[in-house]
Amino acid sequence: MYANYIGFATVGRIQVKPISTSIEDGFALPSIAEFEKAITPKTKAILICNPNNPTGYLYSKEELLVLREICLKHDLFLFVDEVYREFLYGGKSFFSSLNLEGMEQHVVVFDSISKRFSACGARIGALVTRNKEVLASALKFGQARLSPNSLGQIAGESLFDLSDEYYRGIVAEYQKRRDVLIAGLNKIPGVKCPNPGGAFYAVAELPINDSDHFCQWMLEKFSYQNATVMMAPASGFYATTGAGKNQVRIAYVLNADDLQAALEILAEGLKVYAAGSN
Amino acid sequence: MYANYIGFATVGRIQVKPISTSIEDGFALPSIAEFEKAITPKTKAILICNPNNPTGYLYSKEELLVLREICLKHDLFLFVDEVYREFLYGGKSFFSSLNLEGMEQHVVVFDSISKRFSACGARIGALVTRNKEVLASALKFGQARLSPNSLGQIAGESLFDLSDEYYRGIVAEYQKRRDVLIAGLNKIPGVKCPNPGGAFYAVAELPINDSDHFCQWMLEKFSYQNATVMMAPASGFYATTGAGKNQVRIAYVLNADDLQAALEILAEGLKVYAAGSN
């Protein structure tokens, strides 16, 4: 999961329990049974990020219907981080959890201008729900901190005036990047990477056994044609100790040419690393 | 107290216990005995705002030494909101709690560019402490939300290049405003207002018994020469139910001429209100 969820939860003294997904099935939604193992009388909500950071997995309508079933059965909120919802590839369409029938009082969607408009520095987002009680409580916390910054609010408002052209442009660009990256990764011996349906991240399995060590080694000890590649060890995105040690998260936020070069550097790095000169 | 402290505390599930101050002694620091009545084994910190919002009270070095004694005896943090520390009147000087000897591991100061530079919309502040554990924990929460907005950071940094001239200018201006306001308030029959040593607020006692009703009446039903005065009912700044019902907080953020006009309007409003036409 996006690691900062745990930080925010800690502020409110909330315990986050992971439901593990697996690279073997492309990080798809686990079964109802896996959720029910974790649910206790103290459970208040299920949180997902759709499309997902770090895996890029796009949850289908069918999977969201499974979550609806669990939430209604156990009377849980469904919190959905939808900040990447325009970043969809291969002609896929997005089904927002706000459209889940019968879940009007359960669904709370988090949104932000950070990703859609590459405006992370503006620190402007939104909480969207039809639940008036949740909204009233959220508003009180919003009033306590008075408001987000005024320049970010003004910029954020104007960004929504951008035409469809803008969105088509970013999706086409990121789809090209995804295609280059995923095809290239799966061509490297020992590397496996599911094809993400959205966002701009991918989690790849590498022929290594300690991604923290490998990522640091790539940054500090390795270079190929005077360059190297920075990746995030996937272990930081797993709440389960020891998980993800042979996986990395790659953010495809470079243009296709740079990604092509990065793939060559990674392939070369894996060769040298395997040869044991680390 | 500044009411939003309670909102922030609620997020962290922290209970705030008020130590009541009184307009009779100008909102000075209550006795050690009053603090010790409220301290339990669960007490973690004492929080003050110096100079104070809403009272404008400036805590003396002697009062801060009293707080030091309590904090050391009970091993408590001393959280001090010093956002108004340049706003000092009558030649008074400021003693920052960061200078309390023996309290290096106890004192945490909160600062902000909001008041000093009239830059509330920038949402930029600072936490200052010599306690490395507190700093490391605060940094983790800071990292969880990634960073404040980038434009605010850039603007905030440049504002600290302003010369002493800027600070002398604002202090002279606010001192003039304070002098006009406090003298004028105490001339209105039935009105009492201590002379605040800092910040830009004053809490005045009025010849009324429901400041929520009076402030709303002033806004909705009263006008004098086509104008009225907006004040904050002091009840919202007391955690004790029923306290402050005959008090209002006035922010002297208007120029001296407008404050003079506001005083006339208030005097007239009190006359009409007392006559019972409300």
Per residue in A157-201, pLDDT (tens digit) is: 999 999 999 999 999 999 999 999 999 999 999 999 999 999 999
Are A12 and B13 a contacting pair at CB < 8 A? Answer: yes
- Residues in B touching A150 (Cβ below 8 Å): 121-122
Domain check: are B33 and B151 in the same one?
Answer: yes
Average pLDDT over residues B140-160: 92
CA-CA-CA-CA dihedral for B14, B20, B26, B30, to nearest 10:
-90
Domain check: are B125 and B209 in the same one?
Answer: no
- Structural domain span for residue B217: 164-274
Domain check: are B213 and B241 in the same one?
Answer: yes
Q: What are phi and psi of A153, to 5 degrees?
A: -65, -45
Domain check: are A133 and A239 in the same one?
Answer: no
**Of A118, A144, A159, which residue is a domain's last?**
A159
- Residues in A touching B122 (Cβ below 8 Å): 149-151
Q: Is the pLDDT score of A99 beyond 90?
A: yes
- Residues in B touching A10 (Cβ below 8 Å): 141, 144
- For an interface test with A, the pick among B115, B146, B149, B151 (most A C-beta atoms closer than 10 Å) comes out as B149
The total of structural domains in chain B comes to: 2
**Of A159, A194, A222, which residue is a domain's last?**
A159
Per residue in A232-267, pLDDT (tens digit) is: 999 999 988 899 999 999 999 999 999 999 999 999
Instruction: Give the range among A160-164, B3-7, B37-41, B69-73 with minimum mean pLDDT.
Output: B3-7
Q: Is the Cβ of B136 closer than 8 Å to some Cβ of chain A?
A: no
Q: What is the pLDDT confidence band of residue A278, given thresholds at 50, 70 and 90?
A: low
Domain check: are B79 and B155 in the same one?
Answer: yes
Domain check: are A108 and A218 in the same one?
Answer: no
The rounded percent of chain B whose pLDDT value lies above 70 is 99
Domain check: are A145 and A233 in the same one?
Answer: no
Q: Which residues contact A166 (CB under 8 A, 6 or more apart)?
A: none
The separation between CA A68 and the C-alpha centre of its own chain, rounded to angstroms, equals: 21
Domain check: are A149 and A181 in the same one?
Answer: no
A78: left (phi over 0), alpha (psi -120 to 50) or beta: beta
Q: Is the pLDDT score of A277 beyond 70?
A: no
- Reference A197, options A71, A31, A86; nearest CA is A86
The rounded percent of chain A whose pLDDT value lies above 70 is 99
Domain check: are A178 and A228 in the same one?
Answer: yes
The domain that holds A43 is classified in CATH as 3.40.640.10
Domain check: are A115 and A170 in the same one?
Answer: no
Average pLDDT over residues A14-20: 94
Nearest to A7 among B144, B148, B150 (CB): B144
State the CB neighbour count (10 A cutoff) for residue A270. 20
Q: Which residue has the higher pLDDT, B144 or A116?
A: A116
Per residue in B238-251, pLDDT (tens digit) is: 988 899 999 999 99
Q: What is the pTM of this model?
A: 0.89
**Of B107, B130, B159, which residue is a domain's last?**
B159
What is the rounded distance in angstroms from the CA atom of residue B236 to the CA atom of residue B57?
17
Average pLDDT over residues B118-147: 94
What letters, b where the CB count within 10 A reaches 16 and e where it falls short, cover B195-207?
bbbbbbbbbbbbe
Of how many residues is chain A composed?
278
- Which residue of chain B is at minimal alpha-carbon distance from A142? B7
Domain check: are B146 and B265 in the same one?
Answer: no
Domain check: are A178 and A134 in the same one?
Answer: no
Are B145 and A8 a contacting pair at CB < 8 A? Answer: yes
Residue B278 pLDDT: 58
The domain that holds B183 is classified in CATH as 3.90.1150.10
